[in-house]
Structure 1
């Protein structure tokens, strides 16, 4: 049997820790994930006219892959937002200095992924940034073919941010609160 690649083992461990973090979720975190995912889906869906509405218009019809990317990134972003919700009301906040750079990195990945998803599923000529930078024909010629890659990057960034946060919930879990009597015994 061939020896395992070290990177594969690290990836497997990372995903296992993320799965453990997800399994530790409380109903409060699950509810936050569902509500957050619905809110993100609503905002992106209305703004990009994947949900038809009278406020926004779309010049180019959505393509088939816009809908799965929209729903997947909304679900991942909702789950990422739920990682910031404390498991219990009485639990103390986790110390911020333990893994602050990892938290900032995951926040940036999550934000970048959500913004990329918005660009990926939006109308290429309705996007004012692409329209100003490339013009109407440039947006169709240059920006439209890039949108599937933006969609892939959006899913990767959102998933990476979620895995980092879930791993942190397992490795940097806040200690459980103890009763005052137990605290007195430890201090004695």
Structure 2
């Protein structure tokens, strides 16, 4: 657990150093994520997509948390003007979390893969009760991705050198 606390502390430090432009980028990416997940799953009502089964109460908070975490994760891939380009490590945790979130909030009988594997009654009897657990797993994966990306940003020597060069001298 000390390892997790240290990474979380580094992640919070990196997040606190974000400027207004980076926060706005994260907000825009969070909005895009909410639309990308909410429209096809019909959590956001629209004329193109529909649902056979009404959404569960937990689908909306899950969509909001997914959007916020995905916005943070995606914003870590946007290069800051003052920082030199750092080698990118692609985090598969965030992508897996986003996919699981999409599956968690989607209509259980609208998912063609679930219907093909379990049928309509199986989708309702087996998949629907698992969806909240899939949603929790998706948030955990997105949180791990966010902490990993942010902690790497705070611990990167190139970022520290750029921050020190941009900081005003205290002499």
Q: TM-score, normalised by structure 2?
A: 0.90
CA displacement, residues 74-115 of structure 1 (integer Å, 9 cap, x when unaligned): 110011000111222x53201x2xxx6xx33xx200000000
Partner of 2:75: 82
* CA distance in 1: counterparts of 2:56 and 2:83, whole angstroms: 45
1:18 aligns with 2:4: no
For the pair shown, the structure with the greater C-alpha radius of gyration is 1
RMSD: 1.7
2:118 to 119, 123, 134: 134
Q: TM-score, normalised by structure 1?
A: 0.82
Which sections of structure 2, spanning at least 5 residues, go unmatched?
166-171
51-60 vs 21-30, greater mean Cα deviation: 21-30
Shift of 1:57: 1.0
Matched length = 163
2:140 to 144, 150, 156: 156
Structure 1 residues 173 and 41, CA gap change in structure 2 (3 angstroms): farther
Partner of 1:68: 61
CA displacement, residues 116-137 of structure 1 (integer Å, 9 cap, x when unaligned): 0000001000011111111111
Q: For the Cα contact (< 8 Å) 1:86–1:93, is it kept in 2? A: yes
Partner of 2:83: 91
Q: For the Cα contact (< 8 Å) 1:44–1:70, is it kept in 2? A: yes
